[in-house]
Amino acid sequence: MAAPPFYVQPMLRFILTRVSLIIPTFLGITLLAFFLIRLVPGDPIETLAGERGIDPARHEQLRKEYGFDQPILVQYGIYLSRVLQGDLGKSMITQEPVITEFAALFPATIELALCAILFALILGLPAGIIAAIKRNSIFDHGVMGISLAGYSMPIFWWGLILILLFSVQFDLTPVSGRIDVLYYIEPITGFLLIDTLLSDEPEAFWSAVRHLILPTIVLGTVPLAVIARMTRSAMLEVLGEDYIRTAKAKGLSRFRIVALHALRNALIPVVTVIGLQIGVLFTGAILTETIFSWPGVGKWLIDAIFRRDYPVLQGGALLLGVVVMSVNLLVDLAYGLINPRIRHTR
């Protein structure tokens, strides 16, 4: 039997190692979610079933149904097998399966998050690059100052200030929601920007765009600051390398040096940072969605807290955790594919 090509084995080993590393993390998240409900003060059955002061017979029946009469490890086993089958319980308020509600609301969060990261990239990359090229200029100091402020920004306040400016003062943008109430858009992809284009109402698309502007800015502010700072420092490092000096000595144009030689290498750490921003984005989404009444999973979770809808809180947190974990894994794998130095360590 012929030996596999020399590059296959480390690659395969790299993928298998990374994938196997998420198993303990996944188990850890399920354990957290499992014990969460048991930490809530009061009777866990009343907590889970949402029925208060129920009679002893019904209580006993529910105890069996939820498996509370079993040893704790068995209970966890039952919970884990349910989770793996996609059964995360039902919302106490709507009686809908948690996973169905999550799936219905998640596209709104994704749409917002994608727009935010796009906004951050479109502004952050050029700002960082120019700041690095014109090091110590007024522009550089300005970009660094603004990005430090952006990094320190309480975004829940930033949202209110933008509403004050653009909605109240200039009446340019709507205050809340995803689209004007007068439009009804059949969800096809769940992304309103696409669904409105597919519908026969062109006006609806612009309504959706106007609703997206402020939440996008608010959610994109912290990633924008991080990306600008990271791009600048990565560019500065690369611009000091020998091969850049060589390129300069060869008489290449400044644009060619920056765009073709420097940027390509400077982008590697930037890509990692963007991957790491996913967690930050979901955190920000919780606050942004609350401010703008954006019907996504973040607002859904916060509402669940105040309604004491514990199954939603438990299942929603678990699902968000799994999403972030999976995205991190994908970024990790993609990074290993691009950069051979990484897959050969360990």
Instruction: Tell me: does residue 311 bind another protein (CB under 8 A).
Output: no
Residue 137 CB, nearest approach to another protein (Å): 16
Residue 254 CB, nearest approach to another protein (Å): 26
Q: Is the CB of 122 or the CB of 164 nearer to another protein? A: 164
How far is Cα 47 from Cα 195, in angstroms, rounded to an integer?
Answer: 38
Instruction: Tell me: does residue 158 bind another protein (CB under 8 A).
Output: yes
Question: Which among 262, 297, 304, 271 has a CA at the least distance from the CA of 283?
Answer: 297
175 φ/ψ angles, rounded to the nearest 5 degrees: -85, -35
Amino acid identity of residue 92, one-letter, is M
- 313 Cβ neighbours under 8 A, 6+ residues apart: 36, 301, 304, 305
Q: What is the DSSP letter of 83?
A: H
Instruction: Tell me: does residue 176 bind another protein (CB under 8 A).
Output: no
Residue 51 CB, nearest approach to another protein (Å): 20
Residue 251 CB, nearest approach to another protein (Å): 30
The angle, 0 to 180 degrees and rounded to 10, between the axes of the packed helices 263-292 and 202-239 is: 140
Residue 321 CB, nearest approach to another protein (Å): 5
How far is Cα 199 from Cα 141, in angstroms, rounded to an integer?
Answer: 46
108, exposed or middle or buried, with CB in 10 Å at 0-12, 13-18, 19+?
A: buried
Q: Which of 10, 15, 25, 342 binds another protein (CB under 8 A)?
A: 25
Instruction: Tell me: does residue 40 bind another protein (CB under 8 A).
Output: yes
Q: Is the CB of 156 or the CB of 183 nearer to another protein? A: 156
Q: Is the CB of 84 or the CB of 175 nearer to another protein? A: 175
Q: What is the DSSP letter of 186?
A: -
Residue 36 CB, nearest approach to another protein (Å): 6
Q: Which of 11, 15, 36, 236 binds another protein (CB under 8 A)?
A: 36
Q: Is the CB of 150 or the CB of 336 nearer to another protein? A: 150
Structural contact between residues 329 and 252, judged by C-beta atoms closer than 8 angstroms:
no
Instruction: Tell me: does residue 152 bind another protein (CB under 8 A).
Output: yes
Structural contact between residues 219 and 116, judged by C-beta atoms closer than 8 angstroms:
yes
How far is Cα 221 from Cα 219, in angstroms, rounded to an integer?
Answer: 6
Instruction: Tell me: does residue 71 bind another protein (CB under 8 A).
Output: no
Residue 90 CB, nearest approach to another protein (Å): 18
* Cβ count within 10 A of residue 254: 10
Residue 27 CB, nearest approach to another protein (Å): 9
Count of chain residues binding another protein (CB under 8 A): 41
Residue 319 CB, nearest approach to another protein (Å): 11
Q: Which of 220, 274, 287, 300 binds another protein (CB under 8 A)?
A: 287
Window of 119-127, 129-137, 284-292, 338-346 that interacts with another protein by CB under 8 A: 284-292
Supply angle C-alpha 332, 334, 335, rounded to 5: 65
Give the chain's largest Cα–Cα span: 87
Which residues between 254 and 283 bind another protein (CB under 8 A)? 279-280, 282-283
Q: Which of 54, 99, 123, 153 binds another protein (CB under 8 A)?
A: 153
CA distances from 114 to 89, 92, 144, 197, 345 (A): 29, 31, 24, 18, 32
Structural contact between residues 95 and 311, judged by C-beta atoms closer than 8 angstroms:
no
Residues near another protein, by CB under 8 A: 24-25, 28-29, 32, 36, 39-41, 148-149, 151-154, 156-158, 160-161, 163-164, 168, 279-280, 282-283, 286-287, 290, 301-302, 305-306, 313, 317, 320-321, 324-325, 328
